[in-house]
Structure 1
Amino acid sequence: MKTKPIKRHQALQPLSRDHHQGLLLSWKIRTGFAKGISVDRIKNYTDWFYKIHLIPHFKEEEKYIFPILGNDNELDKKAIAQHRRLDRLFNSSLELKKSLNRIEEELEQHIRFEERVLFNEIQKVATKQQMEFILEHHKETKFLDNNTDTFWE
């Protein structure tokens, strides 16, 4: 059964596009392992992606998006806990292959949760003013990939 695409509010669309890049990161990690690429090469790319894209993305969500539901909201708490877990995995230097495997799995699960559950709830409860605030304060930038080592090709 094919699921109907989610109609995402304009204010959240840039973050959803970021999520697409995160899903691609998971795919790149899987592809790298399938091709027998060294863990160090994959880790170099994930370190770059984390620093340049994920840290700002997490900060943006936590500052402008999650507060719409309130600090005590269980969905917010879950998303923030997942951010912290992913932060730890990206910053881990022990058992790199295991950490990368967990990043690949947990990042994808996290994105699916935000897209299918959290963002839908935010769209239901957010006021017009809150969405306008997000639009005013979030400046979308075009995703520029790091093509120094395209191990996934």
Structure 2
Amino acid sequence: MGKPLKRHPALIPLSQDHHFGLLLGWKIRRGIKKEVEKDRIVKYLDYYVSSHLEPHFQLEERFIFSFLAKNDLMRKEAEQQHVDLRNSVDRILSGSENAFADLEQFAEALDAHIRFEERKLFQHMQVELTEEDLAELESRVKRIHEKIKENWKDQFWEN
């Protein structure tokens, strides 16, 4: 495999969000490993998804993916992964009987999704989009994107 492309400035804020998404997965797995009560982890998941993950998904779906054709295979894959992740969260929040297994599966799926976007989708976009498209994308992201600032007191993942 060749040398990775340098990340275009338009995509850097999304990559920064992805860092926090990877931390979400780590926190879930850490909580499970420490045998933290399921409800504490689920409440944090609910907070994080509604405050940060869902707005991130909406930004991508409404303003980022639209730079690719509707039938672009990478775009379709990313959109399907969003659907699958939302369904996983809905299952957990609705009181899944296998909450710990579902939380672990969600964390793994989120990690895989982030790796897909970082390693494949964003590289694809940087190759496929024109400089004008990338400049417009950067302008949109600057206007719309909000940095993640967590406001959660119960840090169950800590020692």
Q: TM-score, normalised by structure 1?
A: 0.92
Aligned to 1:151: 156
The offset of 1:47, in angstroms, is 0.5
Inter-partner Cα distance in structure 2 for 1:109 and 1:134: 24
Q: CA RMSD in A?
A: 1.6
Which amino acid is the alignment partner of residue 116 of structure 1?
A: R
Q: Percent identity?
A: 43
Aligned residues, how many? 151
Inter-partner Cα distance in structure 2 for 1:147 and 1:57: 18
Which of residues 109, 114, 119 in structure 2 aligns to 1:106? 109
Superposition map of 1:17-36 within 5 A: 17-36=16-35
Aligned structure 1 segments of 4 or more residues deviating by more than 6 angstroms: none
Per-residue deviation, residues 76-95 of structure 1 (Å, max 9, x unmatched)? 11111110000011112223
The offset of 1:141, in angstroms, is 2.4
Aligned to 1:128: 131
Q: TM-score, normalised by structure 2?
A: 0.88
SS at 1:146's partner residue?
Answer: coil
Which amino acid is the alignment partner of residue 87 of structure 1?
A: R
Inter-partner Cα distance in structure 1 for 2:152 and 2:59: 25
Per-residue deviation, residues 28-73 of structure 1 (Å, max 9, x unmatched)? 0011011110111001001111001111111111122222221101
Inter-partner Cα distance in structure 1 for 2:156 and 2:3: 33
1:86–1:107 contact (8 Å) kept in structure 2: yes
The offset of 1:4, in angstroms, is 6.3
SS at 2:153's partner residue?
Answer: coil
Gaps of 5+ in 1: none
1:45–1:146 contact (8 Å) kept in structure 2: no
Which amino acid is the alignment partner of residue 20 of structure 2?
A: Q
SS at 1:22's partner residue?
Answer: helix
Superposition map of 1:6-25 within 5 A: 7-25=6-24
